[in-house]
Amino acid sequence: MLGWGGAGLALGAAAAGGTAAALRVGDDASPSASTGDAVPFHGAHQAGISTPVQDRLHFASFDVTTTDRAALIKLLQEWTAAAAAMTAGHEVGAGAISANEELPPDDTGEALGLKPSRLTLTFGVGPGLFEKDGKDRFGLKARRPQALIDLPVFPKDNLDPARSGGDLCVQACADDPQVAVHAIRNLARIAMGRASIRWSQLGFGKTSSTTPDAQTPRNMMGFKDGTRNIAGDDTARLDKHVWVGEKDGPGWMVGGSYLVARRIRMHIETWDRTSLAEQEDVFGRDKSEGAPVGKQREHDEPLLKAMKPDAHVRLAHPDSNNGVTILRRGYSFTDGTDGLGRLDAGLFFIAYQRDVRDGFVPLQTNLARNDALNEYIQHVGSAVFAVPPGVRDKGDWWGKALFA
C-alpha cells in the first residue's frame, strides 16, 4: 500500500483522468486552487462505487421521521444541492460565514480551507421507505425493486438492530476524515425534523481496492484483502455485475446498483493466538505476499483445489459460486474496546451488485455455512439499500425518478 505522502496525489490524478462514467456539468464547480482533487458529482452513475477507493469512510443510515411525502422530497433536493457543493470543495448554502450573523451559519465550518479530498457522497434507499409495519408510507410501495429484498437471516448472524437497517443511507468517502465527517454531519443537520441518523460507522484503510495498480491493503487480520476485486476501469465487469441494466428494471434504478453493508466484528484476540499455518490455511493465501496456496505472487491465478475445502478465498471465489461476483468497497474499523477489554474491531463490509439475489445472498449463504473464517468473525450489523443512478444535472436530485 502506498503511504500517505504520495498516494493522495497519485490517486487524485487517476481519478481526474480516469475512465469513470461521470460527466461534469454546469459551472458550479468553478476551478479554484483547492478543487484539484474533486471527484465529479454528476454523471450516469453515482460516484463512490467504481471511483478509486478513498482512504476514509463515514457511513450513515437514516430513519425518515416525517410522514409527509413533500417534506421528504424537499429533503432529498436539499441534500443533493449540499452534496454537489461539498464534493466540489464548497461549503453548504451560504457557508460558515453567513451575511446575517444573527443566524446560525448554513455550514458548520470545520472543513473550511480543506481540499475536496476526493469526497464522494453515495445515496441509497432502504426497504423501509417503500413499506414499514405494513404501511405504504410515501406511496412508493409499488415502486419497490424486486431486487431490493429483505436480507435473509444467515447462519451465525448476531445482528444488533441498532446497527442494522435504515430508510436512507449516505456513504461518504474521502481521503481526509474531517471532510467525510463534515459531510455527514451537515447532511444530518439539513435533515433535522425530517430524518435522523439511525447508526453510523467510521472506517479507514482501504481494505479493498478498486485501483488496479495500487498494492492491495491488508485487513485487521494482517492479510491482503480484495486482490481480485472489480477495478474502476473494467466497464465490462461493472456492466455485468454492478450496474442495473435496462432489462433489469425498474426504470428508476437503471444505472444504479444495490448496496449491502455488514458490520463484521473480528475476534482479534483469538486470531492473534492462532498459528501462522492455521491463519494461512483459513485464508488460502500466504500472509506475506498474499499468493494463493502453491503460487508465488499475489495476482497469480488461484488453484482452488490446492486449498482446504473451507478456505475463505476458495469459498468466496466466483468458481465456487456459479460466477457470482460483487464489487467490494469495505473499510477497517476500530471502535475502542468492549466491556471486556477486547478490541471492537473488524471490517465494515460494503458490496455493490446488480442484484442482491444473485450477488451477496448466494455468496454469504455459502460462506456462512462453510467458511473456516467464521471461527474468527461475526456479523453484527446488516443493511441493504437501492442506490439510484447518478444525478444528471442541476435539475436532477437524489431519487427524482423514484418519485416521478
Report 316-355 residues binding its own copies (CB under 8 A): 332, 334-337, 339, 341, 343, 345
Q: Which of 79, 223, 283, 398 binds its own copies (CB under 8 A)?
A: 223
CB of 150 to its own copies, least distance (A): 23
Q: Which of 43, 145, 165, 205 binds its own copies (CB under 8 A)?
A: 205
Cβ distance to its own copies smaller for residue 70 or 97 = 97
Cβ distance to its own copies smaller for residue 120 or 353 = 120
Peptide bond before 250: cis, by omega within 30 degrees of 0? Answer: yes
CB of 278 to its own copies, least distance (A): 9
Task: For strands 343-353 and 331-337, give the pairing.
Answer: antiparallel
98 counts as binding its own copies under rule CB under 8 A: yes
Contact predicate 267/378, CB 8 Å: yes
Cβ distance to its own copies smaller for residue 42 or 58 = 58
Which of positions 2-21 make contact with its own copies (CB under 8 A)? 3-9, 12
| Residue 290 grid coordinates | 498474499
Interacting stretch for its own copies, rule CB under 8 A, among 95-103, 241-249, 318-326, 363-371? Answer: 95-103
CB of 52 to its own copies, least distance (A): 14
CA atoms within 13 A on the CB side of 342: 12
Measured in degrees and rounded to the nearest 5, phi and psi for residue 8 equal -60, -50
93 counts as binding its own copies under rule CB under 8 A: no
Cβ distance to its own copies smaller for residue 214 or 386 = 214
Q: Which of 132, 189, 240, 267 binds its own copies (CB under 8 A)?
A: 189
Contact predicate 207/330, CB 8 Å: yes
40 counts as binding its own copies under rule CB under 8 A: no
* Burial bucket for residue 312 (CB in 10 Å: 0-12, 13-18, 19+): buried
CB of 381 to its own copies, least distance (A): 11
Phi-psi label, residue 290: left if phi above 0, alpha if psi -120 to 50, beta otherwise: left
CB of 158 to its own copies, least distance (A): 19
32 counts as binding its own copies under rule CB under 8 A: no
CB of 362 to its own copies, least distance (A): 29
105 counts as binding its own copies under rule CB under 8 A: yes
Q: Which of 30, 31, 103, 305 binds its own copies (CB under 8 A)?
A: 103
Cα–Cα–Cα angle for 390, 199, 128, rounded to 5 degrees: 60
308 counts as binding its own copies under rule CB under 8 A: no
Which of positions 269-298 make contact with its own copies (CB under 8 A)? 269, 272-277, 279-280, 287-288
Dihedral of CA atoms 64, 65, 69, 71 in degrees, nearest 10, equals -100
DSSP 8-state symbol, 50? S
Contact predicate 384/260, CB 8 Å: yes
Question: How big is the chain, counted in residues?
Answer: 404
Interacting stretch for its own copies, rule CB under 8 A, among 217-225, 256-264, 298-306, 351-359? Answer: 217-225
Nearest to 224 by CA among 238, 236, 239, 214: 214
| Residue 26 grid coordinates | 454546469
108 counts as binding its own copies under rule CB under 8 A: yes
Rg, C-alpha atoms of the chain: 21
